[in-house]
């Protein structure tokens, strides 16, 4: 269960940094199918997978937005010296 959580969080962060929201339903569906095939508790594992994937996807989007904002502020401060 811990490995599932760790891989789900990493996958969600990568998806949040790279793709738009439309990628979530197919990824959740494929994840549910894989989990149902290999897990001893498919419903609980699939629920944990879906929830953690969405939360970490949101964290990836926030991370991407915060890095873009800081890069934009840095570029503006370089372009206009003396202003903060």
**Sequential pLDDT tens for the chain (84 residues):** 788 899 999 999 899 989 888 899 999 999 999 999 998 888 999 999 999 999 999 999 888 877 776 767 766 777 776 655
User: Strand, coil or helix: what is 76?
Assistant: helix
Where exactly are the structural domains of the chain?
26-84
Q: pTM of the prediction?
A: 0.76
Residue with tokens 């929830």: 51
Torsion sign across C-alpha atoms 59, 62, 64, 66 = negative
Q: What is the pLDDT of residue 2?
A: 85
Residue 18's CB: how many other CB atoms inside 10 A? 10
Contact (CB, 8 A) for 48 and 8: yes
Residue 69's CB: how many other CB atoms inside 10 A? 10
Q: What is the pLDDT of residue 83?
A: 55
């Amino acid at each position: 269960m811990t490995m599932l959580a760790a891989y789900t969080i990493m996958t969600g962060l990568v998806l949040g940094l790279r793709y738009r929201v439309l990628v979530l339903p197919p990824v959740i569906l494929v994840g549910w199918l894989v989990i149902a095939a290999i897990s001893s508790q498919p419903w609980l594992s699939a629920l944990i997978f879906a929830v953690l994937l969405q939360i970490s996807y949101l964290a990836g989007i926030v991370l991407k937005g915060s890095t873009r904002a800081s890069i934009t502020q840095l570029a503006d401060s370089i372009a206009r010296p003396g202003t903060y």
